[in-house]
Amino acid sequence: MTKIFLAFVCVSLCSLFTPAKGVEIPTKNEKRSQPIQKKESLSTLGTINQNYQIHAKKLSSAIKLDGIVDEADWKKAELANNFYQVLPYDTSHSIAKSEVRMAYDDKAFYLAVVFHDTVPGTRPVESLRKDFIFTNNDNFLVFIDPFNDQMTGYSFGVNAAGAPWDGAMGGGAVNLIWDCKWESKTKSYPDKWIAEMRIPFKSIRYNENVDHWNIQFSRQDLKLNEKSAWAPVPRQFPTASLAYAGQVKWDTPPPKSGLKLALIPYAAGNASHDFENKQPDRLVKNFGLDAKLGLSSALNLDLTFNPDFSQAEVDDQVTNLARFELYFPEKRQFFLENSDLFSSYGNTTINPFFSRRIGLDAPVNAGARLSGKMGKDWRIGLMDMQTGHEGDYLARNFFVSTLQKKVFSRSTIGAIFVNKEQMNIPANWQGKEYNRVAGLEYNIAARNNFLTGKIFAQKSFSPNSLTNKEIAQGVNLVYSRKTYLLEFSQLYVGKDFNAETGYVPRRDFISLDPRATLRHYTVSGPLVYHGVTAEVSPVYRPSDKLLTDISTGLNYFFVFKSRERIEFKGYNRNIMLLKDFDPTNKAAHFLNSGTRYEWNEFSTLYNSDNRKNLKYDFQAGYGGYFNGSRWFAVGSFNYRFQPYGYISLIYSYNDLQLPAPWQRTKFWLIGPKVDVTFTTNLFFTTYVQYNQQADNLNINARLQWRYKPVSDLYLVYTDNYFPGIMTVKNRAVVLKLSYWFN
């Protein structure tokens, strides 16, 4: 059996270097972008697919959003069709027939999409919730680059049931927290579905002086198991990659933008009771105001006074077995808009600005953010936030400034400065008056997106701390092709580097992390591709030139045409503890600092076909764990009641078999969730999380009614219990109303 397995692995590895016949061969009628004939500087080059163009004509009469494309302007509008497959293969035209039309008037631009069915039956959609999960829905998305910089833009879309999607694009991702006013109407027919969209020019920022924007249309047809795009995109990249967008040509440039002002006041009430600490009932009435001022079509000023974040989604709890601080993502809307300008510096473990440091231990009194484009190739970001005094925390001011300059076709050079300043310091205060971080980085993005990455360096400043060990530095490079992916990361954090407003969970280390993934595509059978990933991650402590950690991994995976995925993972870990550590993270007993442990661990991962009403995934494994061993299983189940929502369950089980004094320790984490979407504007979510390690049972229920565009009524209920005896720890109810005035 062992010989058969080894032979299989050898044959598979060899096949990875032999491309499958037919891969990357276009069909006979396939249209490809033509090379640029005239000489242009790299900074002015268009996209790879700039020859894919659609002309948007100015409307001669009004368009009614009704899901019926019968107006005269639609009938004479230019058609974008003949989409290309992106998944499962990218070597031919799409099987699904798609049609997109565009038009505009003095106030807005319009899209009409007609998506014909190839496979009969119900079109899969998860729910009517806004900003749906792309992979779980039949949907249409448009990606717009109104500055033609191939880096920033906006995305709008709908799923087949009419749920809307909108987000701001930056740093290669779509930020779905971003909201603006726009309209859509979707209508289903037996053999097709149609959507019409109206997007006001004043809802986005753009370059007023050009007659074209970069644009991409994307469709997902789950019944056909096909993702397609109007302008062809290599399958290793998302259709959101602006490097492969086409162009929309306007009859005349979009209208000049005047001063744009939006006011978003809110009123909220919060009733709470702390049973655990025997505190009396507390009733807090609150009000505040957000303002959005469009200084130009490219530059925006956001102001906030006494902001309230009570409606933000609750954090997903985790079983914590880590030696360093855990990362929980930001979910507050004010900090997420234009977040790529402020939070994308460094990397996931060396981040000079982490907005969750602001306002979680003391309330935010007011704040301002200026962000956007200046000229053709410059982006600017300024943020100032003032917190109040709370308990042992002084009032503080947080200031962030960032500047980016586009270079070559899609790369940027950026600088950031972060300042945390203590306010009204008393005479006997023992803390530091300020903490500052300055950083420079070069973001690499090749014109064809094959090579991406960054090189960065940061320096921290604190009173009475001037050493050459207050520096952090890193290199991250990714080279992505269809049959292989090469990644390399090198990081350094000095012993005295201190980013109090950032996220840097570990200091005094140098790490290397090379990783290679090889894929082999099949031409027949149930598999799309299979392959292997190999990685090694040594970590050194420069203060004493000691190798503290090294992790080596080898994973083999199979991806099926049914969208199922199976992966086998194996790791060897060698870790020296840098301080006393409790492997259960309950601070009961400790392994001594300076001791070293080595173990192997193996696991299997499976993802089911997400097109079905019931989908699930799991990862289970066994291996060593410091001075003992560990069994674990994590996963989720999701059942959708199309299109009105879903019931889901996440779970995590860890069985730590450790010697005395720990003995055997088991941790369960179970999180059932009910998400109901009554309409595209009325949502109800209940999330229950039982965390055995934290000895807590949390219930969070949230009702949201979007009664007007970007205007909401929230009712939020939260409970925390001691699960063993079901005694209430604390309880709170929040009612919040906001309204968007233009």
pLDDT tens, residue by residue, 178-209: 888 999 999 999 999 999 999 999 888 888 88
Domains of the chain and CATH, by start: 46-250 (2.60.40.1190)
Q: For the stretch 323-348, what's the b/e string if a residue is b when 16 or more beta carbons lie within 10 angstroms of its beta carbon?
A: beeeeeebebbbbbbbbbbbbbbbbe
Structure tokens, 264: 């978003």
- Residue 304: the pLDDT is 94
pLDDT tens, residue by residue, 483-502: 999 999 999 999 999 999 99
pLDDT tens, residue by residue, 703-720: 999 999 889 999 999 999
Strand segments (E) across 587-660: 596-607, 614-625, 628-640, 645-657
Question: For residue 2, what are the CA distances in angstroms to 5, 8, 9, 626?
Answer: 5, 10, 11, 29
Question: For residue 476, what are the CA distances in angstroms to 180, 492, 514, 687, 738?
Answer: 34, 12, 10, 37, 42
With bands split at pLDDT 50, 70 and 90, how would you rate the model's confidence at 374? confident
CB 555 within 8 A of CB 569: yes
Please state, for a pLDDT cut of 70, what percent of the chain lies above it.
93
- Residue 709: the pLDDT is 86
pLDDT tens, residue by residue, 631-640: 999 999 999 9
Which neighbouring-strand residues pair with 578? none
d(CA 488, CA 480): 12
Using alpha carbons, select from 168, 171, 164, 146 the residue that is nearest to residue 155: 168
Q: State CA 196 to chain mean position distance.
A: 27
The residues, ordered by sequence, that sit 6+ positions from 723 with a Cβ below 8 Å of its Cβ are: 690, 692, 695, 696, 697
- Residue 383: the pLDDT is 96
CB 245 within 8 A of CB 51: no
- Residue 45: the pLDDT is 62
With bands split at pLDDT 50, 70 and 90, how would you rate the model's confidence at 242? very high
- Torsion region of 37: left, alpha or beta (phi above 0 gives left; psi -120 to 50 gives alpha): alpha
Compute the average pLDDT of residues 114-130.
Answer: 93
CB 266 within 8 A of CB 308: yes
pLDDT tens, residue by residue, 169-179: 876 788 888 88
d(CA 57, CA 43): 29
Helix (H) or strand (E) holding 737: strand 727-738
pLDDT tens, residue by residue, 130-157: 999 888 999 999 999 999 989 889 999 9
Cα Rg of the chain, angstroms: 27
What is the β-pairing status of strands 299-305 and 212-221?
Answer: unpaired
Looking at 421-430, 468-477, 583-592, 643-652, which range is the least confident one? 421-430
- Residue 39: the pLDDT is 34
Question: For residue 450, what are the CA distances in angstroms to 5, 11, 54, 285, 313?
Answer: 34, 28, 26, 53, 35
- Residue 178: the pLDDT is 83
- Residue 171: the pLDDT is 66
- Residue 631: the pLDDT is 97
- Residue 415: the pLDDT is 98
- Residue 76: the pLDDT is 94
Structure tokens, 252: 């005349």
d(CA 495, CA 545): 13
- The pLDDT of residue 30 is above 70: no
Query: Scanning the structure block, which residue is given the tokens 């062992």?
Result: 2
Compute the average pLDDT of residues 60-68.
Answer: 93
Compute the average pLDDT of residues 281-301.
Answer: 89
CB 520 within 8 A of CB 11: no
CB 483 within 8 A of CB 452: no
d(CA 532, CA 555): 6
- Residue 2: the pLDDT is 37
With bands split at pLDDT 50, 70 and 90, how would you rate the model's confidence at 316? confident
- The pLDDT of residue 38 is above 50: no
Strand segments (E) across 446-483: 451-461, 471-480
Mean pLDDT over the full length of the chain? 89
Compute the average pLDDT of residues 435-456.
Answer: 96
pLDDT tens, residue by residue, 684-707: 999 999 999 999 999 999 999 999
Nearest 5°: the CA angle 537, 541, 547 is 55
d(CA 553, CA 487): 14
- Residue 612: the pLDDT is 92
How would DSSP label each residue in 583-599? Answer: TTSSSSS-BPTT-EEEE
Q: What are phi and psi of 332, to 5 degrees?
A: -90, 130
- Residue 329: the pLDDT is 85
Better-predicted residue by pLDDT, 485 or 465: 485
The residues, ordered by sequence, that sit 6+ positions from 1 with a Cβ below 8 Å of its Cβ are: none
Query: Scanning the structure block, which residue is given the tokens 């989908």?
Result: 615
pLDDT tens, residue by residue, 400-432: 999 999 999 899 999 999 999 999 888 888 888
Compute the average pLDDT of residues 590-611.
Answer: 96
- The pLDDT of residue 272 is above 90: yes
* Alpha helical stretches, state H, 98-231: none
